């Protein structure tokens, strides 16, 4: 049986909550029950989970393109209430990132080498930004990547669809 790993990308208040600084809308809110279901399945199977969290400094250069969001140690950078239980799961690795890819200046590479998963499953937001760039780097490292289409969302429906197509047709990720 293949060893699996789940990535939960940016399920944070600033993206998911209606009062968030860069709220991804109803589509993002609608994936929460599905993501919780998958998290519980991975916990039950004792499989590793990586909780990826956007974490910016106050004057981050990214804020030239996007509104200020997910500033370290603020409510907006906190995991949504429905998933806070995940931070107590012993097989969770929590990483903070400050760029679109979960690999940039994080220890994700080390976690992957240690856990050595055969398959990496993806959930989270935004499909066309942090999900896409993380999937790209995983595929470039020859991991088998499976994206749960019901577990990812974006504030831009057209870009969401395009990103799913790119991940499948160009990067070789499986979309289920």
Separation CA 104–CA 34 (nearest Å): 27
Tens-place pLDDT, residues 4-25: 999 999 999 999 999 999 999 8
Q: What is the CATH number of the domain that holds 108?
A: 3.40.50.850
Mean pLDDT, to the nearest integer, of 42-59? 96
pLDDT, position 87? 82
How many domains is the chain built from? 1
Q: What is the mean pLDDT of residues 69-80?
A: 97
The residue segments making up the domain with residue 38 are 4-175
Q: Are 47 and 7 in contact (CB under 8 A)?
A: no
Angstrom CA distances, 162 to 32, 87, 134, 149, 166, stand at: 22, 32, 16, 12, 6
pLDDT tens per residue across span 78-127: 999 999 999 889 999 999 999 999 999 999 999 999 999 999 999 999 99
pLDDT at 78: 97
User: What pTM was computed for the model?
Assistant: 0.96
């Amino acid at each position: 049986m293949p060893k699996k790993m789940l990535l939960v990308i940016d399920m944070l208040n600033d993206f998911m909550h209606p009062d968030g600084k860069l709220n991804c809308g109803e589509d993002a809110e609608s994936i929460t029950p599905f993501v919780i279901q998958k998290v519980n399945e991975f916990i039950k199977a004792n499989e590793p989970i990586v909780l990826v969290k956007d974490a910016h400094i106050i004057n981050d250069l990214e804020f030239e393109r996007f509104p200020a969001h997910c500033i370290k140690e603020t409510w907006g950078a906190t995991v949504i209430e429905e998933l806070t239980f995940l931070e107590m799961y012993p097989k969770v690795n929590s990483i903070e990132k400050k760029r679109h890819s979960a690999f940039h200046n994080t220890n994700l590479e080390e976690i992957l080498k240690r856990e050595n998963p055969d398959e990496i499953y993806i959930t989270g937001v935004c499909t066309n930004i942090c999900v896409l760039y993380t999937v790209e780097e995983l595929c470039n490292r020859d991991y088998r990547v499976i994206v749960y289409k019901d577990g990812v969302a974006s504030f831009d429906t057209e870009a969401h669809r395009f990103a799913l197509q790119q991940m499948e047709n160009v990067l070789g990720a499986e979309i289920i």
